[in-house]
């Protein structure tokens, strides 16, 4: 390994170490003291519940662990948005698991809690796999109720999705393992089957204090909505169990009995290892996001060895379009080429920029993958589309529009990994979040923004400088330097991938060597959803 590779490796590992440090803290939920108090009540923590439920705790894919990070500090914080969402095998079937964390504000729902729950339901609906709710929640966090209650994609959407999934035949199983109050009571009961834990589980529209205030009735919570009441009197719940482990065992037994479904028919052959060890990806990606590199070196470490059949290799070289295999699954890969390349006319083209010929090639390749029923993988390291008179005269807007159209209308599953930059319209054309990738993932040094930090900061600086000039106080060189640094720092914080993860713009920040397993898992669950739709680009024909 040469010096440059050592520098690259250290930079990426340091970025991942920072993320891991945050994740370790997040996994403590509301803190060690609250976890201890929970265990003293005879209850498992949310993560203990998940680990006991799944077949193998080491084979869990967690979605949105960084959601809500730094967002609710004035309210004491909301680690992981107060809810754990994972995809894992339960009784040998891939399931989505949603577990409220009662150590975080008693499992109350913050705005990001709702967003994360909706994302979990979306994954189950897209892939037609069972979803399991481990419910232990005090309901909506009242100080922020105006941000979570009334809008289309707020709290009520959860129950709408319960109903929709039931009509779609998607299995929903809920275990009431703690408090389940008010609107939150509908989620488990709108599931197909509900389990309740004796003594610790309770479910009611209004607790004893509110009942007393509303109608003057004195009643204890256990009699009002405990396990005996809802199992033997109201018939609201379907199974009564003695404790958390028994509830998890019952879920495993119910999941085991689910029948199989028709498959989408995605092609898979025995897995082959990549040409080069995936761990050597750390050596390939430069420390600086502006520095070029050869994207083929990334592909050689992600795809199965000797599986690539590159489409139009000599044409539109700022995008690589290739059929390949990842853990045996057939995929179509569209990747930004980050090194400077020479066009068919001899012109040098910037790496990471999408030119008209590259967009044209990608559009045709997307159509081919849809025709062949091959899932698409987008590897983003893009700074945007080419600009300037030559590009405009060549119809870059038309070519870009065709590519965006093809991405939007694609009916095969799509998976997006931000390995470097994800800027401007390049994000859209390379299947950004708005274009419904089954999973949106990012490597630790990724950046996500409308444009690069230095360019955006310079524009913002000119705006603020002009505003300052209108005042009576002149701006000298020292003040100018301070202002520029302040703007750059502010913008960089918003482009950092940690910010994107906190907003749930990406499902997870992953280590580069995890890329293959995430894509493989994604295609495996997508294989449960045969599509009846046909690829059609409308009036924008290729």
Q: Bridge-partner residues for 440, per DSSP?
A: 416
C-alpha–C-alpha distance, residues 536 and 529, integer Å: 19
Say how far residue 233 (Cα) sits from the centre of its chain: 41
CB 420 within 8 A of CB 289: yes
Among 87-101, 288-302, 468-482, name the most confident range. 87-101
Residues 6 or more apart whose Cβ sits within 8 Å of residue 502 = 66, 67, 68, 69, 70, 71
User: Above 80 in pLDDT, residue 466?
Assistant: no
pLDDT score for 322: 98
**Global pTM exceeds 0.85:** yes
Tokens encoding 324: 């390949």
Q: What is the pLDDT of residue 472?
A: 55
Long-range pairs, 145-152, Cβ under 8 A, ≥24: 147/111, 148/109, 148/110, 148/111, 148/113, 148/114
pLDDT digits (tens, 9 = 90+) for 414-440: 999 999 999 999 999 999 999 999 999
The C-alpha atoms of residue 127 and residue 527 are separated, in whole angstroms, by 7
Write down the mean pLDDT value for the chain: 92
The per-residue pLDDT for 184 is: 76
Q: What pLDDT score does 245 carry?
A: 98
pLDDT one-digit tens code per residue, 4-25: 889 899 999 999 999 999 999 9
pLDDT of residue 473: 63
- Determine the pLDDT at residue 509: 98
Q: What number is the average pLDDT over the span 349-364?
A: 94
Average pLDDT over residues 214-224: 88
CA atoms of 300 and 323, how far apart (whole Å) = 13
Q: Where are the beta strands (DSSP E) in 436-530?
A: 439-442, 447-449, 508-509
End-to-end CA distance of the chain: give it in Å, rounded: 45
């Amino acid at each position: 390994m040469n010096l440059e590779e050592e520098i690259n490796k250290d930079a990426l590992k340091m970025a991942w170490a920072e993320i891991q440090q945050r994740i370790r803290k997040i996994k403590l939920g509301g803190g060690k003291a609250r976890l201890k108090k929970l265990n003293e009540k005879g209850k498992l923590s949310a993560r203990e519940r998940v680990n006991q439920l799944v077949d193998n705790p080491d084979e869990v894919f967690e979605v949105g662990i960084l959601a809500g990070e730094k967002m609710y500090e004035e309210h004491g914080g909301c680690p992981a948005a107060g809810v754990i969402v994972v995809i894992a095998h339960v009784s040998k079937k891939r399931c989505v698991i949603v577990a409220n964390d009662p150590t975080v504000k008693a499992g109350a729902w913050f705005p990001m809690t709702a967003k994360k729950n909706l994302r979990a339901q979306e994954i189950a609906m897209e892939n037609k796999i069972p979803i399991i709710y481990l419910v232990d929640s005090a309901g909506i966090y009242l100080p922020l109720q105006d941000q979570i209650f009334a809008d289309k994609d707020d709290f009520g959407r959860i129950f709408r999705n319960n109903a929709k999934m039931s009509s779609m035949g998607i299995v929903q199983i809920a275990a009431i393992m703690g408090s389940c109050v008010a609107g939150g009571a509908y989620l488990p009961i709108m599931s197909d089957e509900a389990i309740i834990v004796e003594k610790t589980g309770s479910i009611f529209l209004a607790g004893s204090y509110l009942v007393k205030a509303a109608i003057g009735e004195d009643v204890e919570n256990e009699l009002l909505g405990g396990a005996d009441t809802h199992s033997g009197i109201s018939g609201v719940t379907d199974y009564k169990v003695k404790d958390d482990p028994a509830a998890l065992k019952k879920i495993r037994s119910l999941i085991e009995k689910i029948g199989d479904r028709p498959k989408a028919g995605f092609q898979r052959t025995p897995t082959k290892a990549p040409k080069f060890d995936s761990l050597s990806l750390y050596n390939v990606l430069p420390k600086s996001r502006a520095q070029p590199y050869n994207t083929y070196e990334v592909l050689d470490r992600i795809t199965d060895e000797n599986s690539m059949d590159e489409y139009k290799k000599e044409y539109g070289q700022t995008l690589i379009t290739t059929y390949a295999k990842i853990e045996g699954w057939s995929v179509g890969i569209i990747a930004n080429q980050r090194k400077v390349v020479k066009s068919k006319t001899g012109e040098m083209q910037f790496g990471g920029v999408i030119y008209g010929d590259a967009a044209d090639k990608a559009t045709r390749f997307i159509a081919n993958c849809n025709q062949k029923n091959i899932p698409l993988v987008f590897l983003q390291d893009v700074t945007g589309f080419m600009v300037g008179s030559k590009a405009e005269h060549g119809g870059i807007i038309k070519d870009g529009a065709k590519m965006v159209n093809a991405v939007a209308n694609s009916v095969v599953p799509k998976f997006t990994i931000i390995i470097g930059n994800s800027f401007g319209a390049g994000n859209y054309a390379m299947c950004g979040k708005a274009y419904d990738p089954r999973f949106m993932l990012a490597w630790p040094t990724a950046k996500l923004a409308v444009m690069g930090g230095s360019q955006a900061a310079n524009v913002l600086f000119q705006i603020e400088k002009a505003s300052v000039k209108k005042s009576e106080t002149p701006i000298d060189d020292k003040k100018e330097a301070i202002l520029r640094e302040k703007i750059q720092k502010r913008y960089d914080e918003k482009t950092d991938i940690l910010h994107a993860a906190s907003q749930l713009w990406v499902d997870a920040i992953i280590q580069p060597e995890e890329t293959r397993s995430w894509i493989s898992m994604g295609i495996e669950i997508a294989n449960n959803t045969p599509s009846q739709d046909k690829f059609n680009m409308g009036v924008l024909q290729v």
